[in-house]
Amino acid sequence: MHLNLISEAPLPVRIHLATVIPAFLIGTWLIFFSAKGARIHRFTGGVYLALMTITAITTLFFRILDPGKLSFIHLFIPLTLGGVVSTIVALSRGNIAAHKRPMVGLYFGALLIAGGFTLLPGRLMHAVFFG
């Protein structure tokens, strides 16, 4: 592993990694292991939404693949922010069932699928893990 590449990365990338890693861990716990509706589930769900929001916003400052332009992976920004808003709206209306779909979508779409793209050759995480 070449972790020194992370310390040399631009600030938005480091902030992104500092939020996406705990978001992945919290999201995994929320979806697969937490007691749904428990106070800790609700609290960590709020933390998860905050982390996902920061994670999405920091990607607006990434211009590494094509300097000065957004790349295809930036399509996940409105999807992520839309999922966060949909979840908050559903919960504010007391519609607990309706918050599940965007939360699962955030986890699988924004974290697993978009995260998988970061492992492609030419990307920072590919260089970190595979040299």
Which stretches within the chain are classed as H helix?
Answer: 4-7, 11-32, 39-58, 76-92, 96-105, 114-117, 124-130
Number of H helices, E strands in the chain: 7, 0
Range of the domain at 100: 4-130
* Per-residue confidence (pLDDT) for residue 1, from 0 to 100: 87
73-123 pLDDT tens trace: 788 899 999 999 999 999 999 999 999 999 999 999 999 999 999 899 988
User: Looking at the whole model, is its pTM more than 0.75?
Assistant: yes
Q: What is the pLDDT of residues 61-76, one digit of tens each?
A: 886 656 667 777 788 8
Q: Which residue has the higher pLDDT, 60 or 48?
A: 48
> By CB neighbour count within 10 A (0-12 exposed, 13-18 middle, 19+ buried), where does 59 fall?
buried
CB 19 within 8 A of CB 55: yes
> DSSP character for 10?
-
The total number of structural domains that make up the chain: 1
